Amino acid sequence: MKILFITPYPPSRIRVRAYGFVQQLCREHEVTILTQSSNAQEWRDCLALQQQGFEVIVVSEPRSYALARSGLALASSTPLQVAYARSGCFLHQAQLLCARKHFDIIHVEHLRGIASMDALVQDHPLVWDAVDCISELWRQTARSGPSLALRTVALLEYKRTKRYERQLQQKIAHIVTTSESDRQSLFALARSARLKEEPNPERITVVPCGVDLDYFAPSDQRYRPYNIVFSGKMSYHANVAAAQYLYHKIMPLIWRVEPAATLTIVGSHPPQSIQRLRLDQRVEITGYVDDIRPYIKRAHIMLSPMVYSVGIQNKVLETMALGTPAVISAHSAQALSARPGHDMFSATSAQEFATAALHLMRDAALREKISQQARQYVEQRHRWSDVTQQLVHIYQRAISGEAQKEMITVPDPVASDQL
């Protein structure tokens, strides 16, 4: 197949879903990546893809353009995130590519990607990887976001995004999400549209995230006793809320029992509220790191107390693949097929997180058991080659559906009048 893979950010080991898919797809198919770049790091990621042999077309726009579009959208019904991402240059480049070359399928990732590309739906077989239900994320953020300003914006965005995602489902026949809960959230939006016909749930398919099992492999690196790690891009508000909850609510319960415990927070662009935690000598804030694996491997355990979240947490899958025992939020665990207490532990309160953490850190045999079972789970359910094959089947359905549409003939109205 000839695939046009459109993503609003360059695939990389941080943008792992797109990166995993293109790495696998290029083994059997011809892949052209169309992406956007707005800063030096994204440009470096594009160059890295080109050095790996990918055909990469980059649309570069200053971030100020995106911010201006969001500002103009304040008085409209358009979600700010959609206005931020919607680029006429990005769409024009896609249309030029499609005019110059025949693509069997167009893959568009995320709400920010489809914001520019929904015009392509009418003329090309297209699969939209929504990844998550963004309106559900805004609903949770409006309730539990880390600041009043964010919660206020989230309430506005929730209403707008819910409407927008519902409209997209009326246009796009093939949609992908990372988890069943996100699929159900999107399907509920479609049902709430009061259509004459019940929406077809088969148009939304779950394709989970994968893990590079060679890159994220267990090693003999020794752990630091009582070191707890939390990882994630710290410019993402849900990760900020989780890190604050971990430090202010969970760690005091752990320190009360085990004063030697330390906390490492790994992730790029930590805001001031997180950087201030460095004043506590028991806490390490790394900022951006080139390779997250040493920090996960050296940790005694990983805690991921996501106060709110949607989709699958890649950091959890990568931690499980590395063999570091994890304790995660119960609602994050629902996105996985893993068994709490067998492949990882789940918790719903600060006390449950602290109790599970202390239990794991003090029981070497249990840690070893969880470590092995977690690795086996990821190998069985999140191997990139397997999940990419699921995506290819969806491509084939989309192409077949487009072919069937082309076979439908409409009677010539003139000829009909002559009968």
In a domain, 219, yes or no: no
Q: Give residue 414's pLDDT band: very low, low, confident or very high (50, 70, 90).
A: very low
If asked whether residues 171 and 53 sit together in one domain, one would say: yes
What is the per-residue pLDDT across 31-42, written as a single tens digit (0 to 9) for each?
A: 999 999 988 889
In a domain, 409, yes or no: no
If asked whether residues 170 and 115 sit together in one domain, one would say: yes
Higher pLDDT, 198 or 394: 394
By C-alpha distance, which of 397, 386, 384 is closest to 126? Answer: 397
- What number is the average pLDDT over the span 342-361? 97
If asked whether residues 134 and 261 sit together in one domain, one would say: no
Q: Give residue 409's pLDDT band: very low, low, confident or very high (50, 70, 90).
A: very low
If asked whether residues 56 and 164 sit together in one domain, one would say: yes
pLDDT given for residue 95 in this prediction: 96
In a domain, 205, yes or no: yes
What is the per-residue pLDDT across 195-242, written as a single tens digit (0 to 9) for each?
A: 555 556 678 999 999 999 999 999 888 899 999 999 999 999 999 999
If asked whether residues 141 and 6 sit together in one domain, one would say: yes
β-strand pairing of 30-37 with 2-7: parallel
Residue 417 predicted with pLDDT over 50: no
What is the per-residue pLDDT across 128-184, written as a single tens digit (0 to 9) for each?
A: 999 999 999 999 999 999 999 999 999 999 999 999 999 999 899 999 999 999 999
If asked whether residues 82 and 191 sit together in one domain, one would say: yes
pLDDT given for residue 198 in this prediction: 59
Q: Average pLDDT over the chain, rounded to whole?
A: 91
In a domain, 417, yes or no: no
Angle at 221 between CA 360 and CA 303, to 5 degrees: 35
- CATH for 350: 3.40.50.2000
Cα–Cα distance, 350 to 330 (Å, whole number): 12
Q: Give residue 123's pLDDT band: very low, low, confident or very high (50, 70, 90).
A: confident
Q: 236 is written with which tokens? A: 């993402």
In a domain, 221, yes or no: no
What is the per-residue pLDDT across 253-293, written as a single tens digit (0 to 9) for each?
A: 999 999 999 999 999 999 999 999 999 999 999 999 989 99
Q: What is the count of structural domains for the chain?
A: 2
pLDDT given for residue 194 in this prediction: 61
Domain of residue 338: give its range: 227-381
In a domain, 65, yes or no: yes
pLDDT given for residue 405 in this prediction: 57
If asked whether residues 27 and 83 sit together in one domain, one would say: yes
pLDDT given for residue 403 in this prediction: 55
In a domain, 411, yes or no: no
If asked whether residues 198 and 322 sit together in one domain, one would say: no
